[in-house]
């Protein structure tokens, strides 16, 4: 069987295309990975230095869409004792990634079905006695992601803030990525009281 000139070039062109696209794909992955790490660093900064975080929020108070929620966050942070950092865990980050990948592609919002977080964690080999999840939509800046969750505007229970400052969680995993409706999203999964398996 004889291969025509065009067909003979196809594998070479495919290889060249792969070489050209690979750096862009790697850059996107590194950027997302760095954002994931930066969000965890920002969470840990807020946990370790809540009074300093309150001062930063106070400087932004005038520009807020919801000054009452920002004041509420400032009051909380000024009373909050410093906490130890959350340790990043790749298994928990993988569970967060599953949610980011599925939800971002569809443009969905929310935490999914009841028990979904527990199932995702167990699927990654994490059996947590305590777990929680925060999701931020619309921000790709670590400071804005964490600020949104600490201020917790529109959430009367301030559940996202409570998760960040809960003493029962020792581990966290972060996954940020594209979202069809909001542009970007970050899922932060928390775990504590891990059972040995």
Please provide the DSSP assignment of 84-98 as one string: PPPEE-HHHHHHHHH
Q: Which residues contact 116 (CB under 8 A, 6 or more apart)?
A: 99
* Higher-scoring residue by pLDDT: 18, 103: 103
Q: Which residues, 6 or more positions from 182, have their beta carbon under 8 angstroms from its beta carbon?
A: 107, 109, 137, 138
Read off the pLDDT of residues 78-104 as tens digits, 9 standing for 90 and up. Answer: 999 999 999 999 999 999 999 999 999
The CA–CA distances, whole Å, from 108 to 7, 98, 152 equal 42, 13, 19
- Quote the pLDDT of residue 112: 78
Q: What is the pLDDT of residue 195?
A: 83
Q: What is the pLDDT of residue 26?
A: 34
In this prediction, residue 163 has a pLDDT band, given cuts at 50, 70 and 90, of very high
More confident: 28 or 176: 176
CA atoms within 13 A on the CB side of 3: 7
Q: Quick check: pTM over 0.75?
A: yes
pLDDT higher than threshold 50 for residue 149 = yes
d(CA 17, CA 70): 49
The average pLDDT across 148-172 equals 97
């Amino acid at each position: 069987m004889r291969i025509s000139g065009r067909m003979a070039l196809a594998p070479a062109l495919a290889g060249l295309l792969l070489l050209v696209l690979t750096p862009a794909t790697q850059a996107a992955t590194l950027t997302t990975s760095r954002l994931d790490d930066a969000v965890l660093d920002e969470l840990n900064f807020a946990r370790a230095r809540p009074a300093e975080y309150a001062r930063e929020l106070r400087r932004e108070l005038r520009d807020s869409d919801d000054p009452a929620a920002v004041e509420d966050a400032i009051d909380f942070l000024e009373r909050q004792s410093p906490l130890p950092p959350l340790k990043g865990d790749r298994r928990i980050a993988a569970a967060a990634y599953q949610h980011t990948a599925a939800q971002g592609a569809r443009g969905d919002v929310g935490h999914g079905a009841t028990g979904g977080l527990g199932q995702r964690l167990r699927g990654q080999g994490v059996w947590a006695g305590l777990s929680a999840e925060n999701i931020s939509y619309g921000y790709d800046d670590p400071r804005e992601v964490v600020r949104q969750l600490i201020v917790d505007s529109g959430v009367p229970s301030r559940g996202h803030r409570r998760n960040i400052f809960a003493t029962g969680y020792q581990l966290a995993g972060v996954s940020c990525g594209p979202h069809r409706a909001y542009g970007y999203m970050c899922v932060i999964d928390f775990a504590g009281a891990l059972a040995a398996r």
